[in-house]
């Protein structure tokens, strides 16, 4: 019952008792007033001595994974709590399930919640809300426990057994003059040891000579660079959910990143759409996390075309690098810049992603024209048809897969 309704009921009861002079009604009105005061005091005590904590099994997951959340509710008060509702506010795709429970004095209760990652992105958890009240439901009490946490949902990563890393047109190693966080075949210099440096990088002759530990620094190998072009021009994307062209393009990019980094290649990423974002090539777990965090947040938008981005970023790609173009675009304008990449000794591949719905004959003819022009230019291309599994990309070897 809402408090104002209780007040109206008590006033009516008290008025009747005064007008009729019936003692029983007078006693009843005083009893009701006493119960209301007692319940108000009790409601203020229901959340005293309570604390709640939440532990997250992992701070990131891939699309489709399940994240485990563990909650621990502690009652440090000597009196039991008859009923409590515990739930969490968040921007998770689905509301996180709460729990209604009771807890004894000086007791602790734990439970687990399994949350499936249904959408990639950056999600904020917290605060945790405790809600209770008196046994009659006259008064409600509520408290928010600050327990902020960040969950990252990366794109889905699938195996690409038929895709092979593009080779280099150059023989031998070509150096960039840039230091690398990872070991390469070329040593750039020696510096003093710093906490966190790997022991296998220690240069013992220099360490003995200087009587201090020194480690080797490596130079980035340009022939190992793999650039991914991810087309996010919103004019060519359609659909929703995992079947959308946007999600399938991002999944292809994430899968290529995972496979290339496992094979110790330097991977960089360039996106179109709102602007040409450039993430420079590197390798290792740090680069994997950096690229996956970026891919978790991006969405199709803007009208910066793939052709414009290729022309703008072409000077960043050096001879001996490789690149993979991932696009749903049916604009033939990007084929010529892609051919230019190959002409400048950059191994180039392409993935053309179809929309989730059938296209008309005109669009189908435009797609076949693009695939044909890429074949003539000698650029290996895979067509990811509607509903086709991403794992089958480049299953049919050749210049073009229609």
Q: Topology of 222-392 in CATH?
A: Rossmann fold (3.40.50)
Pick 137 or 333 by higher pLDDT: 333
pLDDT value of residue 188: 60
Residue 21 — pLDDT band, cuts 50, 70, 90?
confident
How far is residue 256's CA from residue 196's CA, in Å, rounded to a whole number? 29
Residue 32 — pLDDT band, cuts 50, 70, 90?
confident
Kindly report the CATH class assigned to 50-154.
mainly beta
Residue 395 — pLDDT band, cuts 50, 70, 90?
confident
How far is residue 306's CA from residue 326's CA, in Å, rounded to a whole number? 9
Instruction: Say yes or no to pLDDT of 307 above 60.
Output: yes
pLDDT value of residue 27: 83
How far is residue 241's CA from residue 361's CA, in Å, rounded to a whole number? 25
Residues counted in the chain: 402
Instruction: Say yes or no to pLDDT of 102 above 70.
Output: yes
How far is residue 386's CA from residue 245's CA, in Å, rounded to a whole number? 9
Mean pLDDT of 43-56: 93
Percentage of residues of the chain with pLDDT beyond 90: 59
Mind spelling out the 3-state secondary structure of the chain?
CCHHHHHHHHHHHHHHHHHHCCHHHHHHHHHHHHHHHHHHHHHHHCCCCEEEEEEECCCEEECCCEEEEEEEEEECCCCCEEEEEEEEEECCCCCCCCEEEEECCCEEEEEEEEEECCCCEEEEEEEEEEEEECCCCCCEEEEEECCCEEEEEECCCCCCCCCCCCCCCCCCCCEEEEEECCCCCCEEEEEECCCCCCHHHECHHHHHHHCCCEEEEEEEEHHHEEEEEECCCHHHCCCCHHHCHHHHHHHHHHHHHHHHHHCCCEEEEEECECCCEEEEEECCHHHHHHHHHHHHHCCCCCCECHHHHHHHHHHHCCCCCEEEEEECCCCHHHHHHHHHHHHCCCEEEEEEECCCCCCCHHHHHHHHHHHHHHHHCCCCEEEECCCCCHHHCCCCCCCECC
pTM of the model: 0.78
For residue range 186-218, list pLDDT tens digits in order.
556 788 887 767 777 788 888 888 888 988 876
For residue range 314-346, list pLDDT tens digits in order.
988 888 889 999 999 999 999 999 999 888 889
Give 362's Cβ-side CA count (13 Å radius).
1
Domains 50-154 and 222-392 share a fold: no
Q: Where are the domains of the chain?
A: 50-154, 177-220, 222-392
On whether the CB atoms of residues 323 and 347 are closer than 8 A, the answer is yes
For residue range 168-190, list pLDDT tens digits in order.
544 444 444 444 545 554 556 78
On whether the CB atoms of residues 324 and 166 are closer than 8 A, the answer is yes
pLDDT value of residue 226: 94
Q: What is the mean pLDDT of the chain?
A: 87
Residue 268: how many other CB atoms lie within 10 Å: 22
Instruction: Say yes or no to pLDDT of 156 above 50.
Output: yes
Which range among 54-68, 154-168, 205-219 shows the weakest confidence by mean pLDDT? 205-219
For residue range 349-384, list pLDDT tens digits in order.
999 999 998 678 888 999 999 999 999 999 999 999
Residue 26 — pLDDT band, cuts 50, 70, 90?
confident
pLDDT value of residue 174: 45
pLDDT value of residue 401: 36
Instruction: Say yes or no to pLDDT of 141 above 60.
Output: yes
Instruction: Say yes or no to pLDDT of 396 above 70.
Output: no
pLDDT value of residue 167: 61
pLDDT value of residue 173: 47
Residue 8 — pLDDT band, cuts 50, 70, 90?
confident
For residue range 259-269, list pLDDT tens digits in order.
999 988 899 99
Positive or negative torsion for Cα 17, 19, 23, 24: negative
Residue 299 — pLDDT band, cuts 50, 70, 90?
very high
Residue 256 — pLDDT band, cuts 50, 70, 90?
very high
């Amino acid at each position: 019952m809402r408090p104002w309704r209780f007040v109206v009921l008590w006033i009516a009861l008290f008025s009747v008792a005064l007008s009729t002079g019936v003692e029983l009604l007078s006693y009843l009105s005083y009893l009701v007033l006493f119960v209301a005061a007692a319940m108000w005091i009790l409601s203020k005590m229901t959340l005293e001595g309570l604390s709640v904590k939440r532990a997250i099994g992992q701070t990131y997951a891939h699309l489709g994974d399940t994240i485990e959340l563990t909650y621990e509710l502690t009652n440090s008060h000597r009196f039991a709590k008859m009923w409590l509702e515990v739930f969490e506010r968040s921007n998770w795709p689905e509301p996180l399930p709460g729990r209604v429970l009771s807890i004894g004095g000086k007791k602790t209760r734990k439970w687990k919640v399994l949350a499936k990652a249904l959408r990639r992105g950056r999600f904020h958890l917290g605060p945790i809300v405790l809600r209770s009240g008196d046994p009659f439901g006259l008064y409600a009490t509520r408290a928010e426990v600050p327990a902020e946490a960040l969950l990252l949902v990366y794109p889905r990563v699938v195996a690409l057994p038929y895709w092979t890393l593009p080779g280099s047109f150059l023989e031998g190693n070509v150096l960039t003059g840039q230091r690398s966080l990872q070991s390469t075949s070329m040593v750039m210099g020696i510096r003093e040891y710093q906490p966190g440096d790997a022991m296998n990088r220690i240069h013992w002759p220099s360490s003995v000579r200087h009587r201090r530990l020194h480690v080797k620094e490596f130079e980035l190998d340009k022939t190992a660079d793999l650039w991914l072009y991810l087309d996010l021009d919103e004019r060519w994307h359609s659909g929703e959910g995992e079947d959308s062209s946007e999600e399938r393009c991002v999944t292809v990019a994430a899968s290529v990143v995972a496979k290339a980094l496992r094979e110790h290649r330097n991977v960089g990423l360039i996106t179109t759409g709102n602007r040409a974002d450039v993430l420079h090539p590197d390798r290792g777990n740090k680069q994997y996390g950096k690229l996956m965090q970026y891919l978790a947040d991006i969405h199709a938008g803007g009208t910066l075309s793939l052709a414009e981005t290729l022309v703008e970023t072409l000077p960043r790609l050096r001879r001996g690098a490789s690149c993979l173009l991932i696009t749903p675009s049916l604009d033939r304008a990007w084929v010529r810049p892609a051919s230019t990449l190959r002409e400048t000794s950059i191994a180039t591949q392409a993935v053309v992603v179809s929309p989730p719905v059938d296209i008309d004959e005109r669009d189908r003819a435009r797609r076949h024209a693009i695939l044909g022009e890429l074949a003539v230019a000698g650029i290996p291309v895979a067509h990811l048809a509607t509903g086709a599994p991403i794992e089958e990309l480049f299953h049919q070897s050749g210049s073009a897969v229609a």
